[in-house]
A and B are shown apart, each in its own frame.
Chain A
Amino acid sequence: MNQLKELVMAGKAKEAEARTRELLAKKTEAEVILQKALIPAMDEVGELFQKGEYFVPEMLVAARAMKQAMTVLRPVFKEKDIQPLGKVLVGTVKGDLHDIGKNLVAMALEGAGFEVIDLGVDVEPEKFVEAVKSHNPIVIGMSALLTTTMMSMKDTMAALKSAGIRGQVKVMIGGAPIRKEFADEIGADFYGRDSIEARNFARLVVQNEA
């Protein structure tokens, strides 16, 4: 199990996938592989990132390795009807085509055991509203890189409110120009400086502590 954890942390995707297959072949439960190797690997990557020892490239390649390992585990989870920690909706807001921040958040959430519905980039407020109605997520994560597009977050907040669904979902926002003051201004529940803070917020929501 430790070996798989190390492989994920080092971003060795093919090797992580192969090791996951080996563990499954040795009758290790998929849930155990996830809880004892993959999630701890991503947690440790997150800690190292917050300590300034790992950087975005290390996080990204580790997340890719975890994703690769998950391709082996996912069919098993489906077969056994094992539910994810919760659903999170992510998207880059209308007018903005940047997806690196949003992808990092998605990967950090997946790495923690959440199911992520990725709406992509340039997401209209109405699309967020429809997705909340159809997927019933616990959290929405909105991302923007540009000062010119971050105002779409405000429009999305208004759209959620006027659709009468603002109360059923927590909203977190992030991106280079975003600050906590802006989150407060538009009525978002949380501003995350990075993907690890976003992941931590989603965990708090699951634990009913946010």
Chain B
Amino acid sequence: MQLAASGLRMPIGADIILHQQPDPEAVLLDGERLGRMFADTAVRFKTPLAMVRMDLELERNLLLRSLGIREDEIPKFHFSGGPSEGIRSIIESGFKAQLTPRLKAQLDAIRYVSGCPGLFPVGMSIGPFSLMTKLLADPISAVAMAGSGLVAEDDPEVNLMEKLLQVCSEILQVTIGAQLEAGAKAVLIAEPAANKVFLSPRQISKGSDIFERYVLEYHRRIKNLIEGHDALYMLHDCGELTDYMVEKLAGLKPALLSLGSSRPLWEVEPMVPKDVVLFGNLPSKQFFSDNIITVEQVKQTACEIITRMKALDHPFILGSECDVIMVPGREREITEKVQAFMEVVCG
């Protein structure tokens, strides 16, 4: 709240700084260098929020490696049957034997940042629903069938989807818990698949509880975990959202709610309680192209967001719609536009 009131602006920008390193892949495996990089990102963008890089493959890789899936099969792997019962003991062990090098480095990085005076370490994790969607070949149909009233006992696809969602939730309790133990003072949960592509607004408007059952319920568990460690639960969803979805996500009362750019921030503002800081929502996924958005247009959009949000008197942080990902060959376009919204003086 204080940061929002101070007029903070920032991108979710660790990937920008990572790609300014000579050896990004090596940095991702070295906790201390990674931690220094997160700290540098915060300093570079003049924010005390030292956010971990958004890597939505970390937990998926952890699960699949733990199950013994071959390294070269992991990228395209989808479950056709439920994970073996062995997964329970692996989760219960806290993945101690199987922690992936990247995840281990991320935890070490959080430890490093937590030792930096003036910085507020913000962990990052994929949400359970989005993680589940990455494990199935066709998660949309499975969720749609559940939304049409089929239950796990009737339909093997619904059964598998629900089983995997439960496993995802359990895994994330462990991995988010580990980030909190490492010193994260907040964790941003990225749940981009909780949107109208994966969850039918038509079914929801007809009374289906799929959004409640498959998204919100699992987020309440995560929120309890995070707040149980006296840390802040933050939420990011850059998918296309209906009013119902925005209201329900805002109703989880995250300390910070980051939305993609599918809706102007001032349009969703009335659906968000005043004690939830809104974050965003410059169209940073388009920053790579001057044909799509120019530096001038970024400045104009930034000023419009600032002016309109101030008029609504809602706490907000001007930022990117998502993590700003470096597109090879387009570094200049991206960094210029990030710089532009960080520095623009609105008249």
Contact = CB atoms under 8 A, between A and B. Distances in A.
Given A151-B329, A181-B291, A185-B291, A57 B76 contact: no
Given A147-B288, A182-B291, A53 B202 contact: yes
A147 B287 CA distance: 10
Nearest to A147: B327
Interface string A125-164: 0000000000000000000001110110000000000000
Contact of A64 (B141, B198, B199, B292): B141
A184 B289 CA distance: 12
Interface residues of B, number: 29
B144 interface: yes
Nearest to B139: A100
A61 B292 contact: no
A57 B143 contact: yes
A11 B147 CA distance: 12
A97 interface: yes
Contacts of A177: 285-286
A117 interface: no
Contact of A97 (B75, B145, B197, B286): B75
A150 B327 CA distance: 9
A122 B197 CA distance: 22
A148 B200 contact: no
Contact of A61 (B145, B288, B325): B145
A112 interface: no
Contacts of A147: 285, 288, 325, 327
A57 B141 contact: yes
Contacts of A56: 140, 196-198, 200
A121 to B, nearest CB: 7
A147 B289 CA distance: 10
A55 B201 contact: yes
B327 A55 contact: no
A103, A122, A176 pick with most chain B CB within 10 angstroms? A176
B202 A58 contact: yes
Contacts of B199: 57
A179 B143 CA distance: 29
A150 B144 CA distance: 29
A100 B8 CA distance: 37
Given A53-B202, A60-B138, A121-B76, A11 B144 contact: yes
A181 B292 CA distance: 6
A179 B287 CA distance: 12
Contacts of A176: 285
Nearest to B291: A181
Interface in B312-347: 325-329
A60 B289 contact: no
Nearest to B144: A57
A5 B76 CA distance: 34
A172 B328 CA distance: 23
Nearest to A54: B202
5 contacts: A55-B197, A57-B144, A148-B325, A176-B285, A177-B285
Interface of A: 11, 53-58, 60-61, 64, 97, 100, 103, 121-122, 146-148, 150-151, 176-177, 179, 181-182, 184-185
Given A57-B203, A61-B148, 14 more contacts: A11-B144, A55-B197, A55-B201, A56-B200, A57-B197, A58-B202, A97-B75, A97-B76, A100-B140, A146-B325, A147-B285, A177-B285, A184-B291, A185-B291
